[in-house]
A and B are shown apart, each in its own frame.
Chain A
Amino acid sequence: MTTRPTDETSSIYDLGYRSYEGVRLGRRYAVLALYRESLRAAFGLGRSTAAKIAPAILIGIALFPALIQLILGAILPIGEIELVRHDDYYSGIKFVMALYVGVVAPDIVGRDQRTRSLTLYFTRAITRYDYALGKLAAMTTAMLAITLVPQLLLFVGNALATDQFGDFIRENWDELPPIFGSALLGSWLIAAIGTLIAAQTPQRAFATVGIIVAFILPIPIAAILVEQIDAGWADYAVYLSPLDLVDGLTYWLFGTAPPASDSLIALTDFSTATFAGVAVVVALAASALLVRRYIRVQA
């Protein structure tokens, strides 16, 4: 359709500037908006396709074992199958979790330092505390995509594998509190450490490498110390590894024992409850340091 040239009665209307008379929702709303936008950034939403690829692939890998179980359960109702169990799901995807937080955390916290938009946040209706905690909450939530989601898929998969879906849910609902508990506490721990490291540098590559090293390197170090050194003190090295803490707290919440054959946790005589305790302490400390970092950072 073409626009007909109009005669001299046509004119350009200058709408003028209109001021805003509506509500201003203040700090709480502003922090929620920050949280929402950070979460979108974590998955590359509203960004280029390239930004979506890495998180999507890693989520795919983390969900893979649970999906297999779900699909098998749905098409072959052969009674209970247990390819993977709830309590050692995380130990199977350790490296995926490290890579995921290494990819996502620099997007959530490092980006504003890199683009120097941090100044714009701090000159608005939020405080530096709000910013740090909003970002931590976003990273924790992003972690749930590879912790809580596969656990829930696994639960549904197990239910589908039995003939009576409803009966399974009724009989096994008590698995839900440890599913949620381990996912939330584990996600918080990993997110707090990941964002703390990412917040130290605007350089994305450094942050990613730093995070992956911080999660992966303690695993062999703890293993060597615990397995090779026959002294009581060496066993404490197991607490150095955040991902082993996640394993330990998960066994504790599910009330199961770690497999004696291939678990570092089983090699130590420590109660699995101590892993949950150390995890809470480390997560709290990392969260506090993250807040401190943002109170001091130049912006």
Chain B
Amino acid sequence: MPVFATNGLSKHYPSVRALDELTLAIEPGIVGLVGANGAGKSTLIKLLLGLIQPTEGDATVLGFDIRTQGLQLRQYVGYMPEHDCLPPEMNATEFVAHMAQISGLPAAASRERASEALRHAGLFEARYRSIAGYSTGMKQRAKLAQALVHDPKLVFLDEPTNGLDPAGRDDMLDLIRRTGHEMGITIVMATHLLGEIERTCDQLIVIDAGRLLHQGSVADFTAATETLEVEVTGDATLLAARLTAAGIDATVEGQRIFVRPEGGHDEAGMFDLIRDGVVDLGLGLVRVQQRRHTLEDLFRIDSSDAADGTSDA
């Protein structure tokens, strides 16, 4: 059963279509939600939390209807906002325990869970210190702890690495990975940093201008393609010309040649041609490897498509 599924989900405001006809189904795992600022990420999260009503379409989250069962579903969902949201004068344990109670947990269980969540987030030693004295990294951890304290089945993280230095970012991504994989909590992580998605997520939702551009597994997307990437020293165009002459589709990008097998060339024959070409032309061969898609490719292609689509319309 999908953790959440939407069907033609739309949210229109008087001046803007924040979300348009979104249909998707998400399986348990760590999901990257990508889109530029204003693409509709926050609107989608608010809809899935049952905080705003959709204009059209419907959605279920953990089996609850977002239109009518917002309160019930929010007992099982956690949310970590992008902005600062911690009261500086409280200590982390008190605040996180209070948040557990607002999610409906009894007082004693809330205190226990607050310690558990803060320990998981790596704040166990500092849990009785006032939040005012926390660093940015510690605040992010406390925000994560409050999102996990009521043991949700699904957590939305909005730009969880915002404001962190590289080491802090690595720690946070590692923490998110562990939360998703070891605790079995489905995580939806909104970000505009594609590198983070490649490192952390196993599914991907890409939205742009309120529309779904892509949904699927990150592994499928970054899987090896048929194209070979050949990097040489010296003049790469010479080798490309030679391959083209042999009936192979080869394009040059700086020192790299992208070679697509076509027609009667099997893989072994193509490797031979490349090797012979390099030797004959006196070039240095740096590497030959199967090319992988990166998420940047997806964004490049799809954004230009989307731009075309809107200009057509």
Given contacts A20-B105, A24-B104, contact A127 B83 (CB under 8 A): no
B residues within 8 A CB of A51? 89
Whether B183 contacts A19 by the Cβ 8 Å rule is: yes
Interface string of B139-167 (1 = CB under 8 A from A): 00000001000110000000000000000
Cβ of B234 under 8 Å from chain A: no
Whether A23 contacts B106 by the Cβ 8 Å rule is: yes
Cβ of B223 under 8 Å from chain A: no
Chain B interface mostly helix, strand, loop or mixed?
loop
Cβ of A47 under 8 Å from chain B: yes
Whether A18 contacts B74 by the Cβ 8 Å rule is: no
Closest A residue to B117 by beta carbon equals A17
Whether A115 contacts B120 by the Cβ 8 Å rule is: no
Whether A33 contacts B87 by the Cβ 8 Å rule is: no
Task: Report the Cα distance A42→B81, complex, angstroms.
Answer: 26
Whether A124 contacts B103 by the Cβ 8 Å rule is: yes
B residues within 8 A CB of A116? 81, 83-85
Whether B87 contacts A19 by the Cβ 8 Å rule is: no
Whether A119 contacts B85 by the Cβ 8 Å rule is: yes
Whether B88 contacts A30 by the Cβ 8 Å rule is: no
Cβ of A292 under 8 Å from chain B: no
Given contacts A120-B81, A122-B51, contact A19 B102 (CB under 8 A): no
Whether B99 contacts A48 by the Cβ 8 Å rule is: no
Whether B88 contacts A46 by the Cβ 8 Å rule is: no
Whether B113 contacts A30 by the Cβ 8 Å rule is: no
Whether A115 contacts B85 by the Cβ 8 Å rule is: yes
B residues within 8 A CB of A115? 84-88
Mark out the residues of chain A between 25 and 64 whose CB falls within 8 Å of any chain B CB in the assembled complex. Answer: 25-27, 29-30, 33-34, 37, 46-48, 51
How many B residues, CB 8 Å from partner? 36
Interface string of A119-132 (1 = CB under 8 A from B): 11111111100000
Whether A25 contacts B104 by the Cβ 8 Å rule is: yes
Interface string of B178-222 (1 = CB under 8 A from A): 000011100000000000000000000000000000000000000
Whether B151 contacts A20 by the Cβ 8 Å rule is: yes
B residues within 8 A CB of A22? 105-106, 109
Cβ of B171 under 8 Å from chain A: no
Task: Report the Cα distance A111→B87, complex, angstroms.
Answer: 8
Closest B residue to A131 by beta carbon equals B102
Whether A33 contacts B49 by the Cβ 8 Å rule is: no
**Residues of B that sit less than 8 Å from A by CB:** 49, 51, 71, 74-75, 77, 79, 81, 83-90, 94, 98-99, 101-107, 109, 113, 116, 120, 146, 150-151, 182-184
What would 17 A/B residue contacts be, using CB atoms closer than 8 Å?
A: A19-B184, A20-B105, A20-B151, A22-B105, A24-B104, A25-B104, A26-B75, A47-B90, A48-B89, A111-B87, A116-B81, A117-B86, A120-B146, A121-B102, A125-B71, A125-B104, A126-B102
